[in-house]
Structure 1
Amino acid sequence: MSEASAARWQDDLHLIVDAAKQAGQVALGYFNQAPEVWWKNEGRSPVSAADFAANETLEAVLRAARPDYGWLSEETDDDEQRLSRSTLFIIDPIDGTRAFIGGLNLWCVSVAVVHDGRPVAGVLYAPALNELYEATASSVARKNGEVITVSAPQQGTSRFAIAEDVLAGFPDELRTRIERVKHVPSLAYRIAMVADGRIDGTFVKRNSHDWDLAAADLILERAGGRLVDLAGRDVIYNRPRVSHDELCAASHSELNDLITRTVRR
């Protein structure tokens, strides 16, 4: 990466960190205050007044600062003009809305800058936990200013966030090597837990979206891990279809390979 590109993404990181903090504080004002809730996707997904308020804050700050960037947010109607932009913001104003509504603190604001299909700057801000994760494509990953790295490869069991029905389908010899982690409702935050070494990996069921993944993907990559599809390929963003098939995020390639091979069978 050229010095000019690295400097550009670093500038973008400063911008999105500031925007995420502003949006996080807006959302925090609704937390445990019984915000109004609606249901979308035929009643499968909740969205709250806090999601919309945080989204408005992000849109006001970011689109004014980078009017030439495209825009993709969970809480904004999709505009296919984004497909003509090489660089865009990918936003989830509150990742983990169910947790937010339920009074659990495991939710975060997710903001990424994506260039030519891959994230180049990303931030996850969890205001109820006072945690800020950030990275650029040319920097280390940090949590509250401190460098983070994934867990080291090890013998024995791996701590893995995985659905019980998926784990139940694994062969016995693999199932005994996995210590299942209690469900974490925010997918972005779950991937951040892999990045900072608290867990070794997570399996992502079909139908995650660009906004769930982009910022966390970059943070994990810069911490030494990787998010891949079942063929072992990087996730590509800003396609016409913004949902994804099964994915695996892990601290090292051997663990990714082991899980993806098993699911493919």
Structure 2
Amino acid sequence: MTETFQGTDPSQLDDHAFAVWAAEQAGAVLLEVRAAADERGLEGKALKDAGDAAAQEVLARVLGEHRPDDAVLSEEAADDKVRLEASRVWIIDPLDGTREFSEPPRDDWAVHVALWQDGDLVAGAVAQPALGETFNTGTPRQVPARTADRPRIAVSRTRPPAFVEALAAEIDAELVPMGSAGVKVMSVVRDLADAYVHAGGQYQWDNAAPVAVARAAGLHCSRVDGSPLVYNEDDTSLPDLIVCRPELAEEIIAFVRAHGTD
């Protein structure tokens, strides 16, 4: 993945390309951690922890070196409140989908790198290293016309929420189980699903980069009540979202407003 940037000074990359480069640097290290897991005796929680630590170290280092004036909000680091006064904040999830990462050869885990600037997301990349792809805002996917007869809703493979099952019944949709939040959003970008609807609790780093990429691809992104997704807030919780094809948004939001998410 990273061959594209060989010989390039990352400090000179624009923010879109830098997000890709940074996500792929972390992704390459995660693949190395996974490949060496048997030799190091890593499995389960130990493999998850090793992946989190390795990817955080890479992203912290490259951001500190090549974007030293920017603030950072990361799942794997203490929340430095200086970000609340900063005009540029990188919102990162070094390893989204630790469960799937710890279950080789699953590919439904990701690295999230997003840039918030002056009130909104302006760049982002979601790397799926085991898939060999990085979805990004610099060269966004153009989502093709829907190919499925019934709407497909991406859901957790371990704990699909009951309200989404009720939504699926209401709009005659099929539920498609898969791993990380980023992978679920990218499944809509990739036309593997038509919507991802979540209300079980997330944080800004879980969806900032995926939402930036999904917006660039022309998808609808909002809270489940239709209100905007807001980032770099003091409270890092961002518990619910909808990412879907624009033609499904009104119907999904109307269902949630009528029935709630309990």
Cα distance change, pair 155–173 in 1 and its aligned pair in 2 (3 A)? farther
TM-score (norm 1): 0.82
C-alpha separation in 2, matches of 1:80 and 1:19: 23
Cα distance change, pair 111–171 in 1 and its aligned pair in 2 (3 A)? closer
Equivalent residue runs for 1:1-265 within 5 Å: 11-31=14-34, 33=37, 35=42, 47-103=48-104, 104-136=106-138, 140-141=139-140, 148-152=141-145, 157-162=150-155, 163=160, 165-170=162-167, 172-174=169-171, 177-181=172-176, 183-252=177-246, 254-265=247-258
Greater mean deviation of Cα atoms: 82-91 or 156-165: 156-165
Q: Give the structure with the larger helix fraction.
A: 2
Greater mean deviation of Cα atoms: 159-168 or 228-237: 159-168
Tell me, yes or no, if the aligned pair for 2:197 and 2:224 is still in contact at 8 Å: no
Q: CA RMSD in A?
A: 2.5
Cα distance change, pair 133–79 in 1 and its aligned pair in 2 (3 A)? same
Tell me, yes or no, if the aligned pair for 1:96 and 1:185 is still in contact at 8 Å: yes
How far off is 1:101 after superposition? 1.1
- Identity of paired residues, percent? 33
Tell me, yes or no, if the aligned pair for 2:189 and 2:214 is still in contact at 8 Å: yes
| Cα deviation code 1:111-133 (max 9, x no counterpart) | 01111232111111111111111
2:8 is aligned to: none
TM-score (norm 2): 0.83
3-state SS in 2 of match to 1:208: coil
Tell me, yes or no, if the aligned pair for 2:168 and 2:174 is still in contact at 8 Å: no
C-alpha separation in 2, matches of 1:257 and 1:245: 20
C-alpha separation in 2, matches of 1:156 and 1:129: 26
3-state SS in 2 of match to 1:98: helix
Aligned amino acid, residue 97 of structure 2: G
How far off is 1:19 after superposition? 1.7
Could you list the runs of 5+ residues in structure 1 that have no partner in the other structure?
A: 1-7, 40-45, 142-147
| Cα deviation code 1:6-35 (max 9, x no counterpart) | xx9971222222222111111111115153
Cα distance change, pair 159–24 in 1 and its aligned pair in 2 (3 A)? same
How far off is 1:196 after superposition? 2.3
3-state SS in 2 of match to 1:59: helix
Could you list the runs of 5+ residues in structure 2 that have no partner in the other structure?
A: 1-10
1:3 is aligned to: none
C-alpha separation in 1, matches of 2:12 and 2:240: 29
